[in-house]
Structure 1
Amino acid sequence: MNSGLGEQQLIKGRVLTRHALHKQGVLVLQYYIQTESGPIAVELFNQEHVCFVQSSDEARLFSCAGLTGIRPSPVALKSFNQAPVSALYCGDGRLMRTLIRAAKDLDIELFESDVKAEHRFLIERFIALDVEFYGQFVERSAENSFSSSSSHSLPQSQPLFVASRARLSTSTIKLNAISLDFECSFSGELYSVGLYGQTLEGGVYQKVIMVGQPEETEQDYIEWVSNEYELIIRLIEWFQEYDPDIIIGWSVVTFDLALLYRRAKYHGIALNIGRDNQPLGWKVEDKYRPETLSLPGRVVLDGIDWLKAAFYQFERYSLEFVSQALLDEGKAIHNVDNRMGEIKELFFNDKPALAHYNLTDCRLVWDIFEKTHLFDFAIERAKLTGLELGRVGASVAAFNNLYLPHLHRAGYVAPSKPVSDGIESPGGYVMDSVPGLYRHILVLDFKSLYPSIIRTFLIDPKGLVEGLNHGFSQQPSKTVPGFLGAQFSREKPILPMLIKNLSEQREQAKQNHDAPLSQAIKIIMNSLYGVLGSKGCVFHDARLASSITMRGHEIMKQTRRWIEAEGYEVIYGDTDSTFVWLGNDFEQAEVQQTGKALAQKVNQFWVDKLNSEFQLESFLELEFETHFEQFFMPTLRGSVEGSKKRYVGTKLNRLGQPELIFKGMEQVRSDWSPLARRVQYELYERLFQQQDVESYLRETVDKLTRGELNKELVFAKQLRRDLEEYTAKSAPHLKAARKLCDATGDPQYGKRGARVEYVMTLNGAEPVQHTTASMDYNYYLSRQLEPIAEPILSILKTTFSQVTTNQMSLI
């Protein structure tokens, strides 16, 4: 990268952020990339926004005033109804919005008008994260510089590269990250900011910028500033010095960066913490969310959002709870529940301790990212989908990124809206269960069932359009039948090809023990059905989604028939899992052998059936997944019918020790009391070990009524919105929150995100901090213990009331 100014050359890097700008009257696409030699701003001039219109609608559309500057051009593409289309080009975003409004007023379809220019440029070239740009370095002109209203702004440090073309590349560039966290007062005034990361040499980087007079301390990472204003100024300078590619944190967008933005605005400081001295901003005023954040050249990853994106599940997503669960370590503070009060106390009386607390929060977030491989997961997801690095969710956008370039090469544009005729596809197949207590239950799972169905039966949006045309032309040999009248063309389907490529990449990732890549691919593959079944996707068509789910129903039913023909009983089935009872007299080695042989035999049945009936290659793969040594399928409450999606079983873990597995039971639900969950666990453990259940229940009820278990009666729930925004006011946690606000006079207890801890008393739900009445033990007996005990007691031919009559009469 040390070539002279103006010399043509190639640069390689990883795309951090994407922007569409208007300079000198033209559309400029701007990409910040990280290269081996450092960050570079890349710009492509004279670009255009693009959408499509049916050629037959073009003249009527252009009869509308105000569209001067839109350039139509015929292209070798057509719509899904086989009509030729024209491309519409313009270099002005406002003009493109005028075009969209005009088409809507005239009821004219525009195709792909929602695809942003900065994204389209990359996806049409199959560029996701890693890129090569060809062009030259230039001097920054006045138009290329970014002015600031702040006298504290710093000079530019990144070179500008003007590119003429781009192509997909590969890269192993390591991005530089920092974990950021603010501490503040109740009113939001900043006390300190913690910064934690790794140096290029692999060591630890740590800094706390603290408001206050310098103190003698062994903590050499503390940098003192005189007030909040100076803290913000110093942080802006720090961003220019350290220059991170990635910022991570816990609610880092909705809390930390939003707070920083508001405090900088209060002081009139231009918050220029982006690259090239560009400001942090929000695309929608006062909507401080990840999708509205604008921070050129830097990526922001929120720990909560990315754990959820990687399908980690926790009862609560507070930093304290997650760090205890994953790291066996929590916040460096005495009273987590009253941390705001303690933070204030530390700020005024022990600032070194506050700095330690602040930095510990940063480190915990960093360690969570490392432990769960979230950095690698985010990178691999961006490489696979073409989504911006740092964008969570967006499964529809990911589908479009993968599908559109192939669709265009096949001669089509995407539909303007989903097909909807009122017929919706059914969900996954759930079999009626056979309730009871069993030994030796096998669980046979179809590996990635829905992606396998898509690949096997050639289910594809383009394939549906062409398949129906073949059907109308009386050429059934060229199609594969679906459901609801669907026919899928056998000729070059796109979606099955994408599934094939993803499946092969996942197998390679498994062989390479690359867990983040394997997980990213799995999530993307499994999202493809959901996208086709979503009305938020323009490719949605009930015939597509139903041809997946209804085929899944057919596969599950046929698999059951084959298994039962082998002499075994199927007691339950759910979406892609079949539960097989072998009988009670099997040895462990025999069980394993039977499970594998049964799965292999069913797979061969499918190979033969699909080849003979459809002339299709089967990619359905049934696997022997789990052996439950003991298994309990409960009945529906108050019924003799078997339940669905609820069961308990014991299986051997990796150490050969039996462990209890709960599915859909109260044990795994956070809206049940700790007492109910503990008792449920103990009851099933005793049932499976053939220990006395009834005496244990009587003893527990006795302790409950004597008040010995009060600490286990506390419910906890987080407010998802501010208290006054709830329309239904009768929920117990809302009543408790309202009582606490009234009792303390502190409205913070009713704010979104507040954790409400309450118990049920004779006066109803009351907050733990302000209980005025006695415990309602009858509530805990009838609404907590009885529902979880009855399924087990029904097996033992008794009832909760019969077991606990004496104890309940004492209440």
Structure 2
Amino acid sequence: MRERGFVLTPTYRVARGRAEVHLHAVMEGGEAAVIVDDRMKPYFFVRRREAEAARRGGGRVVESGLRTLDGETVARVEGELPQELSRVRDSLEARGVECFEADLRFASRYLIDRGIRGAFSVEGAFERRGAVGRVYRNPRIEGAHFVPRLRVLSLDIETSLDGERLYAIGVAGAGGERVFLLRDGNPGLPGYVEVFGEEGALLARFLEHVREADPDVLTGWSLPDFDLPALQRYCRRAGLVCALGRTREEVVLRRDPGFTREGRAVLSGRVVLDGLALVRGAFVRLDDYRLETAAQALLGRGKLLGPDGKGASIEAAYRDDPALLCEYNLEDARLVLEIIEKAGLVELTVRRSLLTGMPLDRVSALPAEYPAWMADFQARDRFVEGAER
């Protein structure tokens, strides 16, 4: 029986000396899944007349039946592992051999070759494995038309002015509204507040809440640049792994290599779509991109403690009025969620992913990264594209 799904995070692992594509996904019924496939070898192309150089360089050369855009026949150069093939490419380019489609990520190549632009249909046996959901191994898989409805959790943290002390974590969306507060005692706080006397216990409960809520998307305002680096730092201090995905792997923080230079957070099985980046990527014009400005423009209301004096106000509220701090914290998480819901930004990102084949958290990098649909189009017309350097 064929079922449809949508890719959240395409990546690969090396297991027993073989490269395995791992496509973490959400199925049409909402269940998480991961497609594991070790049948594909990484590859790129060289001109057929330069195939011997590729063979001497350590690549396995096979006929492709494809041509360059200027009509020259190309050969396919394969390797066992992506990193090994990268060394072959670097060696060839150092000798002046042009390599075609050598800058495509291994998991992206897998999707392109199967005509998958986000949505897919899959057929085959699977087993259920904890939070990752269904695990398919080497199934029949191809592109499909399917628009998913993704579950979103918005989070916001409050800290001391110097960022060294965690005060509270507020969440809204999937799993309901909660504030996890670090404080001694429970002085008449609202029912959505859970109080902890120790930072490690608070963080462990927050991570548990994310696992229980099981969102497909995590959002916030400047998550990769502020909230997530701080949470990772606090977790390490407490001896915990900041595992916000559907596996026990720690969140990986990166800086986009393209012209945007945006921060990125990579999870296994979930995707981080930062609210600020979504607003900018949708070309919403604002005077600036603070949460206060975006909320006033799109929702007609702003942050509870106002745009000015935020740091001092938070310190005072934590000390003297913890109920106000908790409401402020929760409202910030709500504001981000309501902004992206009102503007349809997650849905827009999904549509762009379905159109281009780019992962959800990469669609804003389209001007800087080779679009998958171009490679797909050219492959179907028997052409290959050169790598951009």
TM-score scaled by length of structure 1: 0.45
Identity %: 27
| Contact 1:192/1:355, CA 8 A, preserved across alignment | yes
Q: CA deviation at 1:399?
A: 6.2
Cα 1:156–1:307 change in 2 (3 A) is closer
Q: Deviations over 1:405-456 (max 9, x none)?
A: 2212222111244xxxxxxxxxxxxxxxxxxxxxxxxxxxxxxxxxxxxxxx
Aligned to 2:381: 410
Of 50, 53, 70, 1:57 maps to 50
Match of 1:371 in 2: 342
- By relative contact order (CA 8 Å, sep 6+), the higher-ranking structure is 2
Which structure is larger by alpha-carbon Rg, 1 or 2? 1
Cα pair 1:26 1:46 within 8 Å, conserved? no
1:23 to 15, 30, 49: 15
Cα displacement string for residues 691-727 of structure 1 (whole angstroms, at most 9, x for unaligned residues): xxxxxxxxxxxxxxxxxxxxxxxxxxxxxxxxxxxxx
Measure the CA separation in 2 of the matches of 1:210 and 1:366.
Answer: 21
- Alignment match, 1:356: 327
Residue 225 of structure 1: which of 196, 206, 220 is its match? Answer: 196
Mapped contact 1:136–1:163 kept (Cα < 8 A): no
2:274 matched to which residue of 1? 302
Q: Residues 292 and 301 (structure 1 numbering): CA distance in 2 closer, same or farther, change over 3 Å?
A: closer
Matched, 1:264 2:235: yes
How far did 1:366 drift?
1.2
What are the residue-to-residue correspondences of 1:189-268 with 2, within 5 Å?
A: 189-197=165-173, 205-217=176-188, 219-268=190-239
**Equivalent position amino acid for 2:83 in 1:** R
Q: Structure 1: state its 5+ residue gaps.
A: 1-8, 141-154, 200-204, 418-535, 537-811
Aligned to 1:164: 139
Instruction: For structure 2, list consecutive stretches of 5 or more residues without a partner in the other structure.
Output: none
Where do 1:672-683 residues align within 5 Å? none
* 1:638-787 equivalences in 2 (<5 Å): none
CA offsets per residue over residues 66-104 of structure 1, 9 Å max, x none?
Answer: x2xx32101111112322110011221221121122112
Tell me what 1:319 maps to: 291
SS in structure 1 of the partner of residue 346 of structure 2: helix
Change (3 A) 1:52 1:396: farther
Q: For 2:255 and 2:280, locate their aligned partners in 1 and report how far apart those are by CA, in whole Å.
A: 24
Deviations 1:561-591 (A, max 9, x none): xxxxxxxxxxxxxxxxxxxxxxxxxxxxxxx
**2:161 is the counterpart of 1:186:** yes
Equivalent residue for 2:353? Answer: 382
2:265 aligns with 293
Corresponding residue of 1:443: none
**Match for 1:18: what amino acid?**
P
State the superposition RMSD in angstroms.
2.2
Shift in Å, 1:37: 4.9
* Residue pair 2:357, 2:371 contacting (<8 A) in 1 also: no
Aligned partner (choices 80, 84, 103) of residue 114 of structure 1: 103
Judging by fraction of residues, say which structure has more helix.
Answer: 1
Q: Does 1:96 align with 2:85?
A: yes
Structure 2 CA distance, aligned partners of 1:157 and 1:102? 39
1:174 aligns with 2:145: no
Distance 1:82 1:27 in 2: 32
Offset at residue 183 of structure 1 (A): 0.3
Q: State the match for 1:589 in structure 2.
A: none
- 1:216 shift after superposition: 4.4
The verdict on how the C-alpha distance between 1:48 and 1:269 changes in structure 2, with shifts beyond 3 A counting, is same
Change (3 A) 1:84 1:291: farther
Residue 386 of structure 1, CA deviation: 0.8
* Structure 2 residue corresponding to 1:11, chosen from 3, 13, 16: 3
Distance 1:277 1:291, change over 3 A: same
Residues 32 and 132, structure 2, Cα contact 8 Å, conserved in 1: no
For each residue in 1:206-264, what CA deviation from the matched residue of structure 2 results, as whole angstroms up to 9, or x when unmatched?
A: 10011013424361110111122222111111121111111111111111111111222
Letter aligned with residue 118 of structure 1: A
Per residue, is there more strand in 1 or in 2?
A: 2
CA contact (8 A) 1:387 1:398 kept: no
Alignment of 1:345 with 2:316, yes or no, is yes
SS of the residue corresponding to residue 364 of structure 2 reads coil
1:497-508 → structure 2 map (5 Å cutoff)? none
**Cα distance 1:284–1:402, how it changes in 2: closer, same or farther (>3 A)?**
closer
CA separation of 1:217 and 1:292: change in aligned 2, threshold 3 A:
same
